[in-house]
Structure 1
């Protein structure tokens, strides 16, 4: 019994010593460990999540570029490190950070060039000052489209010498320069060209007119035989262009000029008050039809007006029967916007060639023929032997690369022809289009009917024109050689 008491006492003592050791152990480690272990652990270094453009991107526009780096945590980019960011062959203009993004602004990029943007370690910091590792973003800019030789001869046989000079000049600058152009306010004036000159100090190289009022001329308010305005422009070394909104009677037998129109329909007024016409192009080729009689009379009259300019040695960049396909290839239920496209591609091509041959038969030799594509309408193309330049009309495309995509699409389909921005409105600045690879032969914003200034212009405002006319690759009238 005594032995059991002794053993119990020994056991209690051992347990007590063990408890003391366990109680003192945390204190021992606290006193003996490194004090730095008591600091809060640092966050990991910021890591890149994505970049715009992405690493390895191709066909990046060679305009001023903002490279955006997105990290996995909020970051800063102290100004002391900005000078360490480099990209060979270009300029780093600015470095800034906001939340998880770092934006690097670059300028001086060139087409068809590979670039490596280097952001050294420590330029970007995490929220506790941890340095982001070095980063390189590689990309290449859009390649300049290969400019293949275009058709060297006009489709008009034995052309007016001045027409040949103009065409040869357009070929000589194609791809490296672009000619500026303006559209007459409705018909027979240089009102838009005057607005451009007032805003920029320079006239466009080309003035386009419109024979839209052929049925009314001559009148006291419109007379296409009075060619002084065209002669003055030509004598100032400006080039002359012309389109033709070909208005016809609403119905057979109609002589009311107020009902003349180029919009296809049932010969009545639309909800907007404008008239439509039952005139069908396919009937032009049937002798004795009212369409045939109207077409012949109009072409005869037009030939006479074009001959007046030819006799004065003035060539015309001629853009008739434009936008023939309308939106029939763009939407289900799409339709032609003008009567000359309402019967489809075959009738349209036949009409184009009919006009071409009619003018040829009348001795008209001063025309440079421009056909306008809708980019999906190859079936409407009249043929190389009837077309000198391919035009494209673009509206409401405010991104330069979108305009360039259309240029490249047309270039791929018609490399044998020069390509022009034959109409435009509310599009990206000319410099942005050109930098993205849209090397138009010429460009022409549409007019605004009530414009007295380019400020607030609905199609191309003062800022747009100033950008265009300040580029060294844009040819203005004062830079044009004489074509006489």
Structure 2
């Protein structure tokens, strides 16, 4: 048995030796073509590539291989080549480069054979050119000489210097800017005014009048840059339409200064049967016109036949210049009085054109019926641009009013950094319902203001970051703003970098801030805002002070050589 095993072993060895010595055997290795370039990202000669860290993808028609030690054979000009790799089994070579500047011509060169295909077939050489994005050189709407000069001034200083700015305190003023001057001996370069009290201004309130542009003009005349925004307060509910049940009297009667009246008393021959179908809860509606603006005060009056108040307070009804009517609600006693004896209409400084019974159109209470908070109003932003809705009536009439006020600034030669619908994606304002309605309103306002000839506006859109789907579009926006509160300098700089990367062709501003890192710290961390603007100080609900930028913060800002103050701003004439 042992001898038999030895024989088999010798036989197998002989067979192996014979096979190993057979050098005439041929093996067929399939031929594979070299990889072919399919595309690159960015594309060849692309002209709007973001600056900063960029990923370049070179795509072939088949899987490729790259040895990281061959990185030195790849050439890149215009910035720094950081890495190149093929991740896993892939037909894409991914390269990371850093291009720190805008408008930089970049060239990538990959020699033949540095990238290999299957069976080590050499990929052909690749050459790619692209240019990093430039800042938009022309405003999207502004064509007036002074507005173009302002935009050019912002461009010239962007990322080299930063404009100091301050928010007006609630009303139409530069009070907070004056305080900055008291602290630092310098005025901020920019002051922001707010049309937030539009309804009050239109109603003739004695504490706010956007038709008086004196504070704005004084600021601009001293080379201050003007910024305007709009905390848009809308009614909390839909208005009721006027309904007339009966006509009591029509004509025209000027009241003078309580000199004339409309005598509708039964004792003077007036037929009081007109009141027969009236009921308690109906209104006496008095239509008025010609409220003399030169006088500045107007009063209506509804009295009984004895010349005393028909209802409490109706003897003297305060009017505003915007009113076209006023109304007095009939109580049961008042109804019986007019049925039996009639009434007297009088007042001062207007003309009465009619007296009616019915339900008046809603007159909103300025103290209680307006808000910008979405949970306090039935105003639906999606309906703002839908004709026939009550929201659209408010939207269009308010826009017309603000356009009229902005035209006063245009006529005075004042360019305006215009920032409406701010912080929309935060959703804490009614205009932040959703991206679609926000963009629709922005574009509607843009087109309307353009049609009104407001060529002095530079449009500022406020991002919440990560809200690109809310962006109206490059053709509607000049500057990107960011509002930041209670963040340190590093966070502010990080926000700046992210926004600048996303909107590389736009100037970026710190459009609002409060309790943030010092400007010197932000600048050192890389934030290159075109301007910064702390919000005004105020009080909390408990009366405690809210300070957004204290004296130490402002002194730090104004001491920096790269911070522009008002005395350094040139004329925009």
TM-score between the two structures when normalised by the length of structure 2? 0.54
CA distance in 2 between partners of 1:150 and 1:256 (Å): 47
Q: Which residue of 1 aligns with 2:226?
A: 240
- Residues 393 and 424 of structure 1 are in contact (CA less than 8 Å); yes or no, is this contact kept in structure 2? yes
Structure holding more strand per residue: 2
Corresponding residue of 1:166: 150
Maintained 8 Å contact 1:372/1:393: yes
Q: Deviation digits for residues 123-180 of structure 1, max 9, x if unmatched?
A: xxxxxxxxxxxxxxxxxxxx995355310000006x2110000000000000100000
1:225-280 Cα distance to aligned partner (Å, 9 max, x none): 11111111101001000110000000001512222011002xxxxxxxxxx11111
- Given the superposition, is the C-alpha separation of residues 429 and 147 from structure 1 closer, same or farther in structure 2, using an over 3 Å criterion? farther
The answer to whether residue 413 in structure 2 is matched with residue 313 in structure 1 is yes
* Per-residue deviation, residues 46-81 of structure 1 (Å, max 9, x unmatched): xxxxxxxxxxxxx9xxxxxxxxxxxxxxxxxxxxxx
Residue 193 of structure 2 aligns with which residue?
209
Partner of 2:370: 260
Query: Of residues 441, 456, 481 in structure 2, which corresponds to 1:366?
Result: 456
Distance, in Å, in 2 between the alignment partners of 1:203 and 1:431 is: 18
Q: Which among 378, 385, 393 is matched to residue 285 of structure 1?
A: 385
Residue 154 (str. 1) matches residue 243 (str. 2): no
Q: Secondary structure at the match of 1:309?
A: helix
* TM-score, scaled to structure 1: 0.64
Does structure 1 retain, via aligned residues, the 8 Å contact 2:166–2:188?
yes
SS at match of 2:235: coil
Q: What per-residue deviation string (whole Å, max 9, x for no partner) do you get for residues 334-378 of structure 1?
A: xx1011111x10111011000001111111111010000001100
Structural mapping, 1:397-412, within 5 Å: 397-398=487-488, 400-412=489-501
Any gaps of 5 or more consecutive residues in structure 1? 1-58, 60-111, 113-142, 266-275, 327-335
Alignment correspondent of 1:225:
211
Change (3 A) 1:144 1:223: farther
**Counterpart in 2 of 1:299?**
399
Instruction: Identify the residue that residue 160 of structure 2 maps to in structure 1.
Output: 176
- CA distance in 2 between partners of 1:285 and 1:393 (Å): 26
Corresponding residue of 1:330 = none
Query: Does residue 477 of structure 2 align to residue 387 of structure 1?
Result: yes
* Structure 2 portions without partners, runs of 5+: 1-51, 53-78, 80-97, 104-133, 240-361
Residue of 446, 449, 474 corresponding to 2:538:
449
- Residue 45 of structure 1 corresponds to none
Separation of aligned partners in 1, 2:496 and 2:99: 12
Deviation at 1:450? 5.8
Distance 1:370 1:208 in 2: 12
Cα root mean square deviation, aligned:
1.9
Q: Secondary structure at the match of 1:151?
A: coil
CA distance in 1, matches of 2:501, 2:389: 40
Residues 151 and 441 of structure 1, relative CA distance in 2, 3 Å threshold:
same
2:553 aligned counterpart, secondary structure: helix
Q: Could you report, residue by residue, the CA deviation over 1:383-431 in whole angstroms, capped at 9, with x for unpaired residues?
A: 0010000000000102x22111000000110010000000001100000
The answer to whether the 8 Å contact 2:424/2:438 transfers is yes
> 1:302-325: per-residue Cα shift (whole Å, max 9, x none)?
000000000010011001000001
- What secondary structure sits across from 1:405 in the alignment? helix
Which range moves more in the overlay, 360-369 or 431-440?
A: 360-369
Specify the SS of the correspondent of 2:199: coil
Deviation at 1:204, TM superposition (A): 0.2
Instruction: Specify the alignment match of 1:195 in structure 2.
Output: 179
Measure how far apart 1:288 and its partner are: 1.4
Deviation at 1:219, TM superposition (A): 2.2
Matched residues in 2 for 1:450 and 1:405: separation? 30
- Shift of the 405–193 alpha-carbon distance from structure 1 to 2, 3 Å rule, reads same
Counterpart-to-counterpart distance in 1, 2:192 and 2:385: 30
Change (3 A) 1:147 1:181: farther
1:281 to partner: Cα distance: 1.3
Q: Count the aligned residue pairs.
A: 318
**1:463-478, aligned counterparts within 5 Å?**
463-478=552-567
Alignment match of 1:250 (pick from 228, 231, 236): 236
Could you tell me which residue of structure 1 aligns to residue 346 of structure 2?
Answer: none
**In structure 2, what is the Cα distance between the partners aligned to 1:207 and 1:152?**
24
Q: Is the 8 A contact 1:144 1:437 kept in 2?
A: no
